[in-house]
């Protein structure tokens, strides 16, 4: 089974690239983030023509998540149980489903904006609720392969950003954010590390200043999984080729292969 995650940065703007990538990479399950479209407006037909079911969760703004699967979508859950609100609304940032016996969540963790912003506190609270969700779900089926994949908006280590000195007063690398990831791992999840291609571990490169070509990236798209999932992993990699060419997302897909 091949499972992937990709912050597509507008599924409508990136539809041709998405379809091409699905045909080329042949994932069985794809988690998408940053749809930037409402659930009802998700362009399902081109994806369904390739054999994928779609479970989308979006409100038309800058967030939104989805799961695409050609091995089934069962027990679909939209939003984390008890998910916190921001500015009075529950943002569509999480969707989970069971795909041929593997439980998968697609998550788009809040950015945080800056450490003194209310969005930062929201981010930490959101990660805490994600930890609670993982704890409950894994306890209910401890032997089931389980993964929480997506855009975490946190770089786990200093080496996961191109120049840590430039992040002294920024989100994504603060001790509190990394502690929230450590608390998530403490539930029994471990990180599935992609093999480095061209010596870079990054999954995100800003559009500005030629960041991709200069290697100015960050590793913030992560695969966290339980032991039952990790024991089945045969390969994992970042598809840098998908970040190239005309009109790419600013993120590259992260792909993991399992022996199910």
In contact, 94 and 130? CB cutoff 8 Å: yes
Q: Which ranges in the chain belong to alpha helices (H)? A: 15-25, 44-48, 118-140, 175-185, 211-214, 227-230
Q: What is the pTM of this model?
A: 0.97
DSSP SS3 for 27: coil
- Residue 168: the pLDDT is 83
Name the helix (H) or strand (E) containing 256. strand 254-258
Please tell me the predicted confidence (pLDDT) of residue 201. 83
Provide the residue-wise pLDDT of the chain in tens; the chain has 260 residues.
Answer: 999 999 999 999 999 999 999 999 999 999 999 999 999 999 999 999 999 999 999 999 889 999 999 999 999 999 999 999 999 999 999 999 999 999 999 999 999 999 999 999 999 999 999 999 999 999 999 999 999 999 999 999 999 999 999 998 899 999 999 999 999 999 999 999 998 766 678 999 999 989 999 999 999 999 999 999 999 999 999 999 999 999 999 999 999 999 98
Up-side HSE of residue 107: CA atoms within 13 Å toward CB? 26
What pLDDT score does 63 carry? 95
CATH number at residue 129: 3.60.10.10
CA distances to 100, 134, 142, 172 from 168, in Å: 43, 31, 39, 10
Query: 3-class DSSP state for residue 20?
Result: helix
Please state the domain count of the chain: 1
In the prediction, which pLDDT does 196 show?
73
78 near 92, Cβ under 8 Å? yes
Which long-range contacts link 70-78 to residues 24+ away (Cβ below 8 Å)? 70/28, 70/29, 71/1, 71/28, 71/29, 71/99, 71/100, 72/98, 72/99, 72/100, 73/97, 73/98, 73/99, 74/98, 74/99
CA–CA separation, 94 and 83 (whole Å): 9
Domain that holds residue 223: 2-258
Looking at the DSSP bridge assignments, the partners of residue 223 are 149
Question: What is the token pair recorded at 81?
Answer: 């149980």
H or E element that contains 78: strand 74-78
Structure tokens at 101: 């016996």
């Amino acid at each position: 089974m091949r499972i992937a995650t990709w912050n597509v940065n507008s599924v409508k703007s990136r539809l041709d690239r998405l379809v091409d990538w699905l045909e080329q990479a042949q994932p069985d399950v794809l988690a998408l983030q940053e749809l930037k479209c409402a659930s009802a407006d998700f362009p399902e037909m081109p994806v369904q023509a390739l054999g994928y079911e779609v479970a989308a969760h979006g409100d038309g703004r800058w967030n939104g998540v989805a799961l695409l699967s050609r091995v089934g979508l069962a027990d679909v859950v939209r939003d984390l149980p008890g998910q916190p609100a921001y500015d009075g609304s529950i943002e569509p940032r999480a969707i989970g489903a069971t795909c041929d016996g593997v439980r998968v969540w697609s998550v788009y963790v809040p950015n945080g904006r800056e450490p003194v912003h209310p969005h930062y506190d929201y981010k930490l609270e959101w990660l805490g609720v994600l930890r609670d969700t993982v704890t409950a779900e894994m306890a209910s089926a401890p032997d089931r392969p389980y993964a929480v994949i997506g855009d975490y908006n946190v770089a786990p280590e200093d080496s996961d950003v191109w120049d840590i000195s430039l992040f002294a007063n920024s989100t994504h690398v603060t001790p509190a954010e990394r502690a929230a990831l450590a608390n998530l791992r403490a539930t029994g999840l471990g990180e599935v590390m992609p093999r480095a291609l061209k010596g870079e571990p990054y999954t995100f490169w800003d559009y500005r200043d030629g960041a991709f070509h200069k290697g100015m990236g960050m590793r913030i798209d992560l695969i966290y999984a339980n032991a039952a999932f990790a024991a089945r992993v045969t390969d994992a990699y970042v598809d840098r080729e998908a970040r190239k060419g005309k009109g790419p997302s600013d993120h590259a897909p992260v792909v993991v292969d399992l022996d199910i």
